[in-house]
Chains A and B, each alone.
Chain A
């Protein structure tokens, strides 16, 4: 490991300047009412990057008031879809001018690969924003066929003030996954980013203002779940909550919505997604996809293909090759372009992943490779593979959110389907086969919101994304996502002497 320079901090990398650390409310950067701040740390070293204004209920109330005012009396929902779209397109252009800086912010804040951020994360966020910028003038109501002499139609109206709570694993993508369709629909938004990654969201707030998004239409309040998050989800003037994070918190948010004003909720939660590899699959492709599916972004991705089912005919060969791949996976400073995997986001996650590795050993799974921390400081962990995993083991049931693969051998299609569905989650699945009948059968049988056949992680602005079962409900991405931020109003009036009904 050491010869790959695993776990080391790259020398000479220049830290991006931290320009924005306050709350963004009603178009202004302001301190928290309490004056409190919290530290955001560099996961490569554990060092403090900056002190960030810490919002609590008072600040969240102010942000909601601003959003409410911007929705009830402001220009944003009263503009044409085309005008909103033009501003959002300009917003996308401005982000494009700052790709490096934004990728660097997510790099130091979340330990994400800098090169990947530049090439994929930030351009993906821009693409998402442009997709919804163009969708703003494509929100259609319908005329209706009523059982009588009535003229009826539906209006799709913006739902109002939207609360957005996003996680730390993809700070930029998550921000735009939620904010873009909400703004396109004409809603106003209060975003609470994850406390681990508060930096890029503030930069986006500043660019939003520069693009011409009116004051109050987009507010960013950094802070913690139990204070800022809870204030947002339980607020009587918030009309919708869109959350991405853990199932435990998802449940708390839903309860909070229920006990306050019955605001609508959408939840994109955890997963324990199966990657099902059949005998006829191209083995090298399978090994490559399966390892990327769980090690990408240090396994800190809700759709990680963390249960790998391999059919018995190719199992032994697969095991050999996947160990090689895992050993060749370079762990180190995310700013080093040679590196495949950076550190876990923080100490809590780091310790949690190591704890799960211990559970795996304890429960009798066979550790094939990895299983240890690496590097002298920071939160680096080796790519880890367990074989002989059973569905009732903790590592096969819980979302580890780390670079830990669970390998499982299977015999028949029926068995693969049954075992793949043997989970409380249903976010995604991978199928590797060239047999059209297997592909079609398994894709309908797996109870998951996204199925990738002979590919993985193909996210697209136009492809709806979300979960079955305890992976949540509602969809991000695609035209489906915009529906979450719209109310449907039926308008009906009598019609006289109509030549047709």
Chain B
């Protein structure tokens, strides 16, 4: 035991030392704002020269209501920006409460009069399967549009997210004809059926960080169950939802079943969440906005609400972990998608026995992260979504430095145009620091040290959030204990960000209500009706 510790300690010291040679900046120097220099020296940023022209054309910019692309009633538009440059990609029709009313009316009619909920489930599934095939055919166009509007690496869009869109749609298409109610036993001579009926018109408000994946998580189960939908995409990323909705109509979706109204939260979003004719509202976004949505539902018609909100998810590295693997996984858990993931592993708890080694390697990994134009091959990190997020993240970085955390990598803007931020790592982070408590939603890793299992359980749970957690250990008992003790909706053990269609996803505590994906999501889009009738001269009960 002692011997092992000694070896481990020597090893980490050795690695530490060798790294000091490569990177001889002191903590003092970094605090003096020299972080920008680090990244330039190690060129984490592939030069952001003239942005690559995205290989796609913007075809759809209007509202999609009742199967038609239409202008907003007010005639208003808003610009959607390229986060690489801050320049306008397109002007998009801006829906407000009038347009939401039109869309809800169309969805209401499509639900109340059909044909969508009156079709057989198999027929609905055939249309959704066709949609999935069309998504595959247009994979690269959708991916290019997604990366252009959002700033995420094109390879990530093309190889992971668009395929996840078609995969999720196929998953729910397959559920359509397998939605079963129960026949339940009565206490007396009664025949009791439980019908699971579509809930009606679903309002869905989705965020900008994974526009197409969020589209799939919301629209897939809602449509498979036979509902109709009014979808409000995020104002930062309105383009791909319109494109995907057009493909869904090409696949044979009847008019009015899916309506897409781009616009802003306080106008379009509020109108949808507070609408008397909307039966259900599903929202993914910030905890603050989630509260408003639930309040609007409460004040209007008590529509049912599911919320998938923020997180401050712990990533726990136990002392038996292979540090190299743990570093890589913790790195991607946080930095994936520019740190703009609700389930980002944003509190990296590392056991004290491997802490020093971990910090050094996490730093090295962050410095190696390739930041640049998302359309360039090999780029791992693009720009943040917009100026507001960009500024907010930089403020958090300042807060981290001010509160005494050690800035070991990054710490500033990358390049001088667009919304790029250096991959940033803080060590010596304490639980009470703002950067350890609030959701930064950016490429800022905060590393905390812990001593034992009980301590880390307590600290990991000491958060208003409960979305996800990562556990890195090969010790079966530790894994099992952590798995049950962490009050979060997803626990990844020796992996992270596995978001298969069949795996339910959602939060404990202020990370939300309900679950997306999997069978569980179907429940959010179904009403349960018990039907009871007496039995005469029954053969059995």
Interface positions of A (Cβ within 8 A of B): 82, 85-86, 89, 127, 130-131, 133-135, 137-138, 140, 151, 413, 417, 436-437, 440-441, 444-445, 461-462, 479, 493-500
CB-based contact A479/B536 at 8 Å = no
Chain B 455-481 residues near chain A, CB threshold 8 A: 476-477, 480-481
B539 within 8 A of A: yes
Cβ contact of A499, chosen from B171, B174, B476, B485, cutoff 8 A = B485
Q: List the 7 closest A-B pairs by CB distance, nearest first.
A: A134-B174, A445-B539, A498-B484, A444-B539, A437-B536, A495-B480, A497-B481
Q: Is B533 touching A440 in the complex (CB atoms < 8 A)?
A: yes
Complex CA gap A89/B171 in Å reads: 12
Closest to B483 in A: A151
B508 proximal to A (CB < 8 A): no
Query: Min CB distance, B196 to chain A, in Å?
Result: 13
A436 CA / B536 CA spacing, docked (Å)? 10
Cβ–Cβ contact A495 & B484, under 8 A: yes
Residues of A within 8 A of B178 (CB): 131, 134-135, 138, 462, 479
In the complex, whether B129 has a CB less than 8 A from a CB of chain A is: yes
In the complex, the answer to whether B535 meets A137 with C-beta atoms within 8 Å is no
Decide: B485 and A137 in contact? CB cutoff 8 A: no
Partner of A85 from the list B174, B484, B533 (CB cut-off 8 Å) is B174
Chain B 446-458 near chain A by CB (<8 Å), digits 1 or 0: 0000000110000
Instruction: Write the chain B residue with the least CB distance to A413.
Output: B537
Residues in B with CB closer than 8 Å to A436 are 533
Bound-state CA distance A493–B480 (Å) is: 9
**Inside 8 A of B502's CB, which chain A residues have their CB?**
137-138
Are A82 and B536 in contact, CB atoms less than 8 angstroms apart? no
Return chain A residues, CB-CB under 8 Å to B536.
437, 440-441
Contact A441 B537, CB 8 Å, known A137-B501, A497-B481: yes
Please give 18 more A-B residue pairs, beta carbons under 8 A apart, in addition to A82-B171, A134-B177.
A82-B167, A82-B170, A131-B122, A134-B170, A134-B178, A135-B178, A138-B175, A413-B537, A436-B533, A440-B533, A444-B535, A444-B539, A479-B178, A479-B180, A495-B480, A496-B480, A497-B453, A497-B481
Please measure, in the bound complex, the distance between the C-alpha atom of A498 and the C-alpha atom of B125, giving whole angstroms.
42
B509 within 8 A of A: no
Q: Give the CA-CA distance A441 to B189 in the complex, in Å.
A: 11
The size class of the interface chain B forms with chain A is 20 to 34
Question: From residue B151, how far is it (CB to closest CB) to chain A in Å?
Answer: 29
Question: For residue B167, which residues in chain A have a CB less than 8 angstroms away from its CB?
Answer: 82
Q: Is the CB of B484 within 8 A of A499?
A: yes
B residues contacting A by CB (< 8 A) are: 122, 125, 129, 167, 170-171, 173-175, 177-178, 180, 191, 453-454, 476-477, 480-481, 483-485, 501-502, 519, 533-540
> Are A493 and B485 CB-contacts (below 8 A) given A131-B177, A137-B501, A444-B538?
no
Select which of B177, B484, B534, B540 is within 8 A of A462 by beta carbon.
Answer: B177
Contact A133 B174, CB 8 Å, known A436-B533, A498-B485, A499-B485: yes
Q: How many whole Å from A448's CB to the nearest CB in chain B?
A: 12
List residues of chain A with CB within 8 A of the CB of B175. 134, 138
A85 to B476, CA, bound (A): 32
Count of inter-chain pairs, beta carbons less than 8 A = 87
Cα A403 to Cα B501 with chains together (Å): 49
CB distance from A418 to the nearest CB of B (A): 11
Q: How far is the CA of A85 from the CA of B454 in the complex (A)?
A: 43
- Checking B173, B180, B484, B540 against A444 with a beta-carbon cut-off of 8 angstroms, the contacting residue is B540
* Chain A nearest CB, measured from B533 CB (Å): 7
User: A134 near B173 (CB under 8 angstroms)?
Assistant: yes
A-B contact list, 21 entries, CB within 8 Å: A82-B167, A131-B177, A134-B178, A138-B175, A138-B178, A138-B519, A151-B480, A151-B484, A417-B539, A437-B534, A440-B536, A441-B536, A444-B538, A445-B537, A445-B539, A479-B180, A495-B484, A496-B481, A497-B453, A497-B485, A500-B484
| Minimum CB distance partner of A438 in chain B | B536
If A134-B125, A138-B174, A436-B533 touch, whether A441 touches B538 (CB-CB below 8 Å) is: yes
* Of B485, B501, B534, B537, most A-chain CB atoms within 10 Å: B537
For the complex, give the distance between the alpha carbons of A11 and B180 in Å: 49
Nearest CB of B to A493, in Å:
7
What residues of chain A lie closer than 8 Å to B177, measured between beta carbons?
A: 131, 134, 461-462
Q: How far is the CA of A444 from the CA of B122 in the complex (A)?
A: 28
Contact B191 A440 (CB under 8 A): yes
A180 CB to closest chain B CB (Å) equals 13
Contacts of A417 in B (CB 8 A): 539
How far does the Cβ of B518 sit from chain A's closest Cβ, in whole Å? 9
Distance between A121 CB and nearest chain B CB, rounded to angstroms: 16
Q: Which residues of B contact A440 (CB under 8 A)?
A: 191, 533, 535-536
**Cα A461 to Cα B122 with chains together (Å):** 10
- Which residue on chain A has the smallest CB distance to residue B541? A444
Contacts of B539 in A (CB 8 A): 417, 441, 444-445
Residues of B within 8 A of A462 (CB): 177-178
Q: CA A157 – CA B125 in complex, angstroms?
A: 27
How long is the Cα–Cα vector from A195 to B481 in the complex, in angstroms?
A: 58
Say how far A388's CB is from chain B's closest CB, in angstroms: 28
B32 to chain A minimum Cβ distance, whole angstroms, is 46
Residues of A within 8 A of B484 (CB): 151, 495, 498-500
Q: How many angstroms between the C-alpha atoms of A440 and B533 in the bound complex?
A: 9
How close is A415's CB to chain B, nearest CB, in angstroms?
Answer: 13
Separation of A500 and B484 alpha carbons in the complex (Å): 8
Minimal beta-carbon separation of A469 from chain B (angstroms): 15
B317 to chain A, nearest CB (A): 19
A495 to B, closest residue via Cβ: B480
Cβ-defined contact, B481 with A135, below 8 A: no
Contact indicator A493/B535 (Cβ below 8 Å): no
Query: Smallest CB–CB gap between A211 and chain B, Å?
Result: 15
Residue numbers in A under 8 Å from B171 (CB-CB): 82, 137
Cα of A151 to Cα of B480 in the assembled complex, Å: 8
Which of A85, A86, A138 has the most chain B CB within a 10 Å cutoff?
Answer: A138
Closest to A140 in B: B519
Output the residue of A134, A462, A479 with the most chain B CB within 10 A: A134
Decide: B174 and A441 in contact? CB cutoff 8 A: no
Question: Which residue from chain B places its CB closest to the CB of A501 in the assembled complex?
Answer: B484
- Establish whether residues A498 and B481, one from each chain, have CB atoms under 8 Å apart when the complex forms: yes
Report chain A residues within 8 Å CB of B129: 89
Residues of A within 8 A of B537 (CB): 413, 441, 445
Q: Please name all residues of chain A whose beta carbon is closer than 8 Å to the beta carbon of B180 when the two chains form the complex.
A: 479
Q: Which of B480, B533, B540 has the most CB of A within 10 A?
A: B480
Say how far A5's CB is from chain B's closest CB, in angstroms. 36
Closest A residue to B476 by beta carbon equals A493
* Chain A residues, CB < 8 A from B501: 82, 137
Docked Cα-Cα span, A139 to B483, in Å, equals: 23
Question: CA A140 – CA B535 in complex, angstroms?
Answer: 34
Q: Report the bound CA distance from A400 to B95 in whole Å.
A: 68
B318 to chain A, nearest CB (A): 14
Question: Which residue on A lies nearest to B538, using beta carbons?
Answer: A444
What is the minimal beta-carbon distance from B487 to any residue of chain A, in angstroms? 9
Chain B contacts for A461, CB-based, 8 A:
122, 177
CB distance from B21 to the nearest CB of A (A): 43
**Roughly how many angstroms separate A250 CA and B477 CA in the complex, as a whole number?**
49
Write the chain B residue with the least CB distance to A447: B539
- A479 CB contacts on chain B under 8 angstroms: 178, 180
Complex: A397 Cα to B74 Cα, angstroms: 76
Contact partners of A134 in chain B: CB under 8 A: 125, 170, 173-175, 177-178
CA distance A11 to B502 in the complex (A): 54
Bound complex: CA of A441 vs CA of B539, how far in Å?
A: 7
Which B residues are in CB contact (< 8 Å) with A131?
A: 122, 177-178
Nearest Cβ in chain B — how far from A440, in angstroms?
5
Q: How far is the CA of A444 from the CA of B539 in the complex (A)?
A: 6
Bound-complex Cα distance A417 to B539 (A): 10
Chain A residues with Cβ below 8 Å from B170 are: 82, 85-86, 134
CA distance A496 to B180 in the complex (A): 37
Q: Tell me, rounded to whole Å, the shortest Cβ–Cβ distance linking B177 to chain A.
A: 5
**A496-B174 contact in complex given A127-B122, A440-B536, A444-B539, C-beta closer than 8 Å:** no
CB-CB nearest in chain B for A86: B170
